[in-house]
Structure 1
């Protein structure tokens, strides 16, 4: 059913059924009998027919039957002979086949060479290259699964485990004495039916395989089932088959449909199809939300982004359905998204459109009001072939998935897994730049703090403004990056680490250039204006002083969160107590002037006169100094306590 769903849903329908020749090989190919067609076209090529069409057909026949080793062989010969005239479709397929046999180097080389061609053909390059760095990181990802092949697997297709009461329901091509054996020509195996198996208490293996239900199983394909929380309703995928006939569209394609059955008197009722099925596209692979109110499914219906997309529909109280909605580009790509599975807060699916190891890979996304960026679950759960139909008990972190990987017992096999907790550690890097022109700011001070404000580390940016913290940060935690540089306002950026182990978080920081009036002296930020003069023994603001103080007013309006304090000082000439009282009156007069010009009083923390207590040179009461030296101590200071 996996392969059926891949290719019977109009992915290649127009191409397949547009052919109208009479050769035996083409008849097999057009009938989707790919095992037979591959042998026939291969024999044709080996007899000397190395035409472009023959090489394409033999490569396609193996590719559509997921025999990537032979697909690479024949696509490789196709490239050697006809590289200059190949359609983008064959470039794309060859790249995927190369990844399917683990030849990632060649896949990346071809992607780079044909990047523009593939983009023009609207293939999403990011899904097969973007990120060679991401792929290399994925290959080095620490394993977080133990996987095991089940004893119930056969040499034929076994896949798609679903939880049902204390059993597992799955699809299989195995022959049984209870069913009349009919061969599906695509892969020369019996048609798929649903089976049940008992779990073994000592582990995750299964036993006692029996046919699921004569009412549900038909002479055509049934696979991928989902049960309602109460176990009384089931949804499953089947060929468009009713009243003993297969129904086809105008091109002759028999699509897939979703069906529903209810448990009545301990028996499953005659299946009925869902209202959003259609003769012209496929709908299948159901999954239910934990509360049973949403049905997820896979389709190539109008509104799809790629070859197959995942959709969701509301199950309404009166046993009707809302309108199907595409899950959108966070989940769906230009490739294939399939086999959804939903738990409380998490969404699992398989895809060959996101960065992966080849074929279908299993991905995990956090689901709240929206979906988080999908995370590839890595080896050994994923391989260079197809890995899909992931189901899990989140409490035990045990479950099942299906794969056609090398080393299995047959076609598709069911595997059990135990997910292990892997320490989730990450690093962070970024660039410090000027907000005015986006130029890098070298030698900026950069610190990282946890959410409590504890400084974890500090560094300086390099000559390109870049910084890096390799601290093994825990996943899904909040941190703060702070940056500072002389002549610029301090800045900070909060970020949350990803759910992905070994992820490198990028946190850029932009610094705004300080107003020229703001300077740093003695470790303090100050507002530097001209001298403020007062008449002898007076504290009223003169006109020349108001010109300078207006600069303070304008600056504080430019920085609406700025908080300052005012300090006034005198020289040592005169009585100490008198000087202190006079400077204090002048400080408060300065404060009142600023407030009177529209600055809130709470933005000036204090206005204090210190007289001659804080001289900046040696000119104290016992020293003889020139007027110039004494005048240095006569000053008003505006100290910035808060800038942001």
Structure 2
């Protein structure tokens, strides 16, 4: 990686200080981060017979800092063979690291074993100085967990540091702006970094329509490594210490990096402002916001750290004030470099060369619980013997992007997409239980999760919002069913089939109806709502309390079936005159219909309310026929005929 890591934490002064004029040409170029030119000068000194420890160290460093592992291991190898006894642990680490970077794992493991016994781990604590050659073998031979794909947006220069932004990806690039006056950065003789954006065709797939991001953000110097809040209205990004058109420098003439904050207002980003924990004396950059925007993670080489660069975080209060920086500690940070954090609700992802890896920078993950778990290397395919860093991921789909300078790329650093695989595809299920009549949540409903053969896998109850969630892991592409029951409601059984999408949380909607279905019956080919007989006082049509209690059942059924339409028919027995009975039954039918409407049922859902008197007797008790009271009662009835039911 020729730009992305080193230049982001040791940016050169643009003017060489007068105090440096007396230095040899090689050292001047090296101290000013002109590593390509410095390498030429040191190689010229080697050819003239200068193979001193300092010359070999600096020559190896010029290539190491531009991630040219083949050349770095060549010169570190000569350094090691000639000056092993006087080398610092840092250079032993660099040699082991570059050996892995060129795939010479056998020699790397041998040196790791030797120096696990020799090294003072309190001075330089990295996993390369532990007796873990078996662990390295296991890592090398680990079953791949990722499928990685290159992207068409990559240029011949550096493209790295992707970040999600709405339905886009924002990233840093040193691609040529096609400006005839493009300024070149002497570190790697490429244009300065700017922020670009591209559209996502589909999450984790190719990126298209590349263009500069926020023209009011990019300057003539470096901008890179951005993060956004979930609303996309606040951004933090890394930039040179650059204010009022001038670069600020420390007392050695070095221009460091700072974090800047900007807000989206009226479609434009506001003038970036520094965060309070920046400094002119050290670099702060590579921001990552937690999903709730309450923590801002970043990378810094500030004094008091553990390694070359450490990961820190600050709390952000509701007023936007930052706490003092907090180092993530020795579980995460090492004597090497930890960089490019990315945070989800579940995990912290970051790049490191201090934890056990395959060479260069590797990407690690640490689970977020009450504390951060021990980092786990994401293994081969995603990690390589080169620099792999800047990972972002959607935890639901297990798709995302990362940066690498691996072989086969287009430029110095390229952006790749990935799909995380799993040895076993698993999903979960959640759901909501609502009442049919009004879509209100049903609380404390009993919910059971069953396999297709009826085995009870889990059970629970709905909460105050009618929601349930089973943590039981389900196999992908498998049939299951959920049974919901609640006193006073008809039980429902809902089958569902999981998909082939890793980690999907299936969502099920279940609708319960009141236990009223038994009131809907078919009589002589006619669909009716059947309730107990309702009674009226002698010669009256007003609704008595006992009649209202039965009619409320009609109301409940009609609320449960909001598109149901009925008609009301009232009938009498044959006692009394025909005309009287017809008038009385008609008044009672209309009174019944009006009562139902008064309880909240729309009037147009009662097609008619008609009294038929003694016209539709159910037995032989016609006029003049002697019948018992019980036989006459059969004919005294109200009927609720269903005209429409959906």
Q: TM-score range by the shorter chain?
A: 0.5 to 0.7
| Structure 1 pair 370–180 and aligned structure 2 pair: CA distance change class (3 A) | farther
Deviation at 1:298, TM superposition (A): 0.7
Deviation at 1:155, TM superposition (A): 1.3
The two structures have a TM-score, normalised by structure 1, of 0.62
Q: How does 1:365-376 map to 2 (within 5 A)?
A: 365-376=366-377
Greater C-alpha Rg = 2
How far, CA to CA, are the matches of 1:243 and 1:357 in structure 2? 43
For the pair 1:156 / 2:179, whether they are aligned, the reply is no
How far, CA to CA, are the matches of 2:358 and 2:390 in structure 1? 17
CA deviation map 1:226-280 (0-9, x unaligned):
0111111100001111111111112222111100011011011110010000111
CA deviation map 1:558-609 (0-9, x unaligned):
xxxxxxxxxxxxxxxxxxxxxxxxxxxxxxxxxxxxxxxxxxxxxxxxxxxx
Deviation at 1:65, TM superposition (A): 0.9
Given that 1:340 and 1:350 are in contact with CA atoms closer than 8 Å, whether structure 2 keeps it comes out as: yes
| Structure 1 pair 120–7 and aligned structure 2 pair: CA distance change class (3 A) | farther
Given that 2:4 and 2:158 are in contact with CA atoms closer than 8 Å, whether structure 1 keeps it comes out as: no
Deviation at 1:176, TM superposition (A): 1.4
Match in the other structure for 1:145: 146
Given that 1:60 and 1:71 are in contact with CA atoms closer than 8 Å, whether structure 2 keeps it comes out as: yes
For the pair 1:215 / 2:227, whether they are aligned, the reply is no
How far, CA to CA, are the matches of 2:11 and 2:81 in structure 1? 26
* Secondary structure, counterpart of 1:119 in structure 2: coil
Match in the other structure for 1:381: 382
Alignment RMSD (CA, Å): 2.6
How far, CA to CA, are the matches of 1:118 and 1:142 in structure 2? 32
CA deviation map 1:316-341 (0-9, x unaligned):
11121122211122211121111111
* Secondary structure, counterpart of 2:64 in structure 1: helix
| Structure 1 pair 125–400 and aligned structure 2 pair: CA distance change class (3 A) | closer
Given that 1:59 and 1:71 are in contact with CA atoms closer than 8 Å, whether structure 2 keeps it comes out as: yes
Match in the other structure for 2:325: 324
Deviation at 1:90, TM superposition (A): 1.9
CA deviation map 1:328-380 (0-9, x unaligned):
22211121111111111211111111111111111111102111111100010
Given that 2:200 and 2:206 are in contact with CA atoms closer than 8 Å, whether structure 1 keeps it comes out as: yes
* Contiguous gaps of at least 5 residues in structure 1: 425-473, 475-644
| Structure 1 pair 11–130 and aligned structure 2 pair: CA distance change class (3 A) | farther
Deviation at 1:191, TM superposition (A): 0.4
For the pair 1:6 / 2:6, whether they are aligned, the reply is yes
Deviation at 1:134, TM superposition (A): 1.4
| Structure 1 pair 121–343 and aligned structure 2 pair: CA distance change class (3 A) | closer
How far, CA to CA, are the matches of 1:35 and 1:130 in structure 2? 36
How far, CA to CA, are the matches of 1:10 and 1:163 in structure 2? 26
* Contiguous gaps of at least 5 residues in structure 2: 426-472, 474-646
Given that 2:12 and 2:254 are in contact with CA atoms closer than 8 Å, whether structure 1 keeps it comes out as: no
Match in the other structure for 1:629: none
Between Structure 1 and Structure 2, how many residues are aligned?
Answer: 424
The two structures have a TM-score, normalised by structure 2, of 0.62
| Structure 1 pair 179–162 and aligned structure 2 pair: CA distance change class (3 A) | farther
How far, CA to CA, are the matches of 2:125 and 2:12 in structure 1? 18
| Structure 1 pair 115–373 and aligned structure 2 pair: CA distance change class (3 A) | closer
* Secondary structure, counterpart of 1:305 in structure 2: coil
For the pair 1:262 / 2:263, whether they are aligned, the reply is yes
Deviation at 1:54, TM superposition (A): 2.1
Q: How does 1:402-551 map to 2 (within 5 A)?
A: 402-423=403-424
| Structure 1 pair 179–284 and aligned structure 2 pair: CA distance change class (3 A) | farther
| Structure 1 pair 162–176 and aligned structure 2 pair: CA distance change class (3 A) | same
* Secondary structure, counterpart of 1:156 in structure 2: coil
| Structure 1 pair 381–311 and aligned structure 2 pair: CA distance change class (3 A) | same
For the pair 1:359 / 2:375, whether they are aligned, the reply is no
